[in-house]
Each structure stands twice: as structure tokens, then as C-alpha cells.
Chains A and B, each alone.
Chain A
Amino acid sequence: MQCIFDMDGEHVNNRIKIARVGKSLTQVQLAKKVGVTRQTIGLIEKGQYNPSLQLCISIAKTLEKTLDELFWEDQNDG
């Protein structure tokens, strides 16, 4: 199962990056915490990879955000 994720929009991907920077984490640090490679985090932030729900939850927990805050697409975003 994969997250509801707007692959074409920059908004969802930017939110992950903003949340990560807000927590003062580098891509490498976030990758280590959620158990993936840096490349995978980079791909998610660029909207080139659609993560599984499990990975979405892991990222959300690490960044202390809800799935909504990170992955939900608002009408205004689209």
C-alpha cells in the first residue's frame, strides 16, 4: 500500500523537506532513522518515488508530524 501522494506537485514533497529541515536533520540522518538509503529520501523529496504507507508512517513519526501534515494534498495545493 502506498501513500496518497501527488507525484506531479511540488507541495507534498516540499513539506517533507521543510519538516526535515525544521527538525535539523540531513537526508542522511533521516534516512538512517527510517531505515532507508539517502537516495530514497532524495527521490521522495523530489517526487520521483512513491513511498509505501509503512515508510510514510515512519517518516511522519520521525519528523513528529501527522500523515495529513506531510502527505495530504489540499485543494489549494493542487
Chain B
Amino acid sequence: MDKSWISFLLPDDEYKEKKMLYFMAESAVLLAVALFIYALITNVELYGSSETGTLAGLSFVFLTGYVLVRYTFSGIEYTDIVGHNSYQKEKKTILFRSLMFLITFLVASIILKGIPADMEELLDLLGPSILAAVFMYFWNYISLKRSYQKNKDLLDD
């Protein structure tokens, strides 16, 4: 298996190496949870926004974002997508999922904020919703494309 850049921090013994990886992962998850809770507490309306809370939030985004980026680009999400047909089918599924996300996002926003009264409010509602759905589609598409490429390389000859 390809080694990661973190290999230089790990012991040569494979049992110890695996244990260390678990410990590091546990620590990262606990840190992410702590940062998330801290960011929530310090940014609630009661206290107003805080710089430390924002920093904690950004750190949380980095922690989770790093894992997501590595996971997506390693092409290990869609392990069974090999043929062109299944690839096209999955592409449609991703599109459908993104549309469902868009609808859910819009409905949730309307429930929380109410029906938009004017054009500006409507744009404020549609803008982030569409942006989030488009981002979701392209992110999943990248993951699918990477997985498809990787699986094709590993296919039966």
C-alpha cells in the first residue's frame, strides 16, 4: 500500500503503527467535536459572534475538510462503478440527489425564515441554495470520476 506523508511519524512495527493511527484518528475526532461545540457556544446569538469562536469553526472546517478532500480524491468512494453504463447511472443518481438536496434546503429555509416577501429576499434564498446544490453535485462528480478511473485500472483483464 502507498505510504502517506505521515509515515515518517509512525513506528516501523506494523502493530504499533496501526495502534498509533487509531490513536491519532481518535484524537482528531475528539478535537473536531470539541471545536464544533466551542464554535457553537461562542457564536450563539446571546453572546454575539466571537473571533475565537470563528477560529474554532475554521479549525473544525479544516479538520473535516481535509479528510473529505483526501477521501474524494483517492477514488475510494464508489468502489463498484466500473462499466460505462453504471458510471452514467450513478451520474444521474448524483444529479437527483443534488436536486433533492436543493429542494430540502429551500423548504427548510422557507420554514425557518418564512416565505420571501420581495425579490431581494428571494435571491437571498435561491443564491446559497443553488450554490450549495451545484457544489454538492460537482464534489460528488469528482469523487465518482476518480473512483471510476481507479476501478477501470483495477478491472479484470
Contact A39 B154 (CB under 8 A): yes
Contact A2 B150 (CB under 8 A): no
Chain A: interface residue total (CB-CB under 8 A): 16
Contacts of B64-115 to chain A: CB distance below 8 A: 76, 79-80, 82
B1 within 8 A of A: yes
Contact A1 B1 (CB under 8 A): no
CB distance from A68 to the nearest CB of B (A): 21
Contact B15 A48 (CB under 8 A): no
Contact A1 B15 (CB under 8 A): yes
Closest to B150 in A: A39
Contacts of A45-62 to chain B: CB distance below 8 A: 45-46, 48-50
List of B residues within 8 angstroms of A2 by Cβ: 14
List of A residues within 8 angstroms of B124 by Cβ: none
- Count: A-B pairs, CB below 8 Å: 36
Contact B15 A39 (CB under 8 A): no
List of B residues within 8 angstroms of A26 by Cβ: 156
With contacts A48-B1, A48-B2 taken as known, whether A39 is within 8 angstroms of B79 at the C-beta atoms is: yes
For A1-34 the 0/1 string (1 means CB < 8 A from B) is 1100000000000000000000000111000000
Tell me the bound Cα distance from A37 to B81 in angstroms: 11
CB distance from B146 to the nearest CB of A (A): 12
User: Closest 9 A-B residue pairs measured CB to CB?
Assistant: A42-B154, A37-B79, A39-B79, A49-B1, A50-B1, A38-B80, A27-B156, A46-B154, A39-B151
Some 29 contacts from A to B, beta carbons below 8 A apart, are A1-B14, A1-B15, A2-B14, A27-B154, A27-B155, A27-B156, A37-B79, A38-B79, A38-B151, A38-B154, A39-B76, A39-B79, A39-B80, A39-B147, A39-B150, A39-B151, A39-B154, A40-B79, A42-B151, A42-B153, A42-B154, A42-B155, A43-B154, A45-B154, A46-B153, A46-B154, A48-B1, A48-B2, A50-B1
Query: B-side interface residues toward A, CB under 8 Å?
Result: 1-2, 14-15, 76, 79-80, 82, 147, 150-151, 153-156
Given contacts A38-B82, A39-B80, list 5 more A-B pairs with CB under 8 A. Answer: A1-B15, A26-B156, A39-B154, A42-B151, A50-B1
Query: A-side interface residues toward B, CB under 8 Å?
Result: 1-2, 26-28, 37-40, 42-43, 45-46, 48-50
